[in-house]
């Protein structure tokens, strides 16, 4: 399928208002600790992959059945369905690339009008999270690489790509895209992105679509 253009969003604090890893950590009674570590990682104060492995280790023992409660707590960002509908109406496609988890995004993404998505996977044994990440970690470079791969796959020229994110691990895809947007973003991301959307409303992106 070829597309006129490609919009790639980050998931946590961009597509949705939450940080999913914090919601899963709540199920292990370690929400506050993981929230502090996530905040530091998103500000770019710690190496993403190292931080993610450490935070995921705090999730050990959470039953997969608890993901239903996590999903119920997720709040989509205002305007997200307006944005995905507008992209489709103009012949574009929507991707989400996340340092979060397929276990949640596989339910969430299609419901919000997302066409393609990629995230990390939590290792599971005997119906519970083991505390390890399964496979290669989706870090800042993996996000930028995925944007380029989707563009190539759908016949979209690099200058017709838009990347939207809030965290330090979004900066490489923001730099790689034709248009990079800091959205609901950490100070470093606001400082480095070409354009800043200050209002937490994804419909604000619609006038920027090609």
Residues involved in catalysis: 10, 12
Number of Cβ within a 10 Å radius of residue 36 = 12
Which residues within the stretch 4-33 sit at the binding site for Mg ion (CB under 5 A)?
10, 12-13
Binding segment for Mg ion (CB under 5 A), chosen from 2-10, 60-68, 100-108, 184-192, is: 2-10
The smaller minimum CB distance to Mg ion, of residues 167 and 180, is found at 167
The smaller minimum CB distance to Mg ion, of residues 77 and 161, is found at 77
Q: How far apart are CA 8 and CA 10, in angstroms?
A: 7
Q: Which secondary-structure segment (H or E) carries 161?
A: strand 161-165
The smaller minimum CB distance to Mg ion, of residues 103 and 154, is found at 103
Enter the tokens of residue 89: 């109406």
Q: Which is nearest to 118 in space by CA: 134, 99, 133, 132?
A: 99
Which residues within the stretch 166-195 sit at the binding site for Mg ion (CB under 5 A)?
166-167
Tokens 């992105």 belong to 193
CB of 167 to Mg ion, least distance (A): 4
139 binds Mg ion per the rule CB under 5 A: no
Residues 6+ apart with CB under 8 A from 127: 63, 64, 65
44 binds Mg ion per the rule CB under 5 A: no
Binding segment for Mg ion (CB under 5 A), chosen from 3-11, 53-61, 137-145, 197-205, is: 3-11
Residue count, binding to Mg ion (CB under 5 A):
5
Alpha-helical segments (H) within the chain: 20-27, 31-42, 48-57, 67-73, 80-89, 102-111, 140-153, 171-176, 187-192
The smaller minimum CB distance to Mg ion, of residues 10 and 139, is found at 10
Residues interacting with Mg ion, by CB under 5 A?
Answer: 10, 12-13, 166-167
């Amino acid at each position: 399928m070829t597309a006129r253009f490609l919009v790639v969003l980050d998931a946590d604090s961009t597509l949705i208002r939450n940080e999913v890893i914090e919601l899963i950590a709540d199920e292990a009674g370690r929400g506050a600790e993981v929230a502090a570590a996530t905040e530091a990682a998103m500000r770019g104060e710690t190496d993403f992959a190292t931080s993610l492995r450490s935070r995921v280790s705090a999730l050990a023992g959470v039953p997969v059945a608890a993901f239903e409660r996590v999903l119920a707590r997720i709040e989509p960002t205002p305007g997200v369905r307006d944005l995905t509908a507008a992209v489709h109406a103009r012949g574009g496609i929507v991707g989400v690339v996340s340092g979060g988890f397929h276990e949640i995004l596989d339910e969430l993404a299609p419901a919000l009008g997302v066409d393609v998505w990629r995230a990390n996977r939590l290792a599971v044994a005997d119906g519970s999270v083991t505390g390890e990440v399964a496979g290669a970690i989706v870090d800042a470079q993996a996000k930028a690489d995925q944007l380029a791969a989707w563009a190539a796959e759908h016949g979209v020229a690099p200058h017709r790509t838009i990347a939207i994110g809030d965290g330090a691990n979004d900066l490489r895809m923001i730099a790689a895209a034709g248009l990079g947007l800091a959205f609901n973003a950490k100070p470093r991301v606001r400082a480095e992105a070409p354009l800043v959307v200050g209002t937490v409303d994804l419909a604000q992106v619609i006038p920027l679509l090609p």
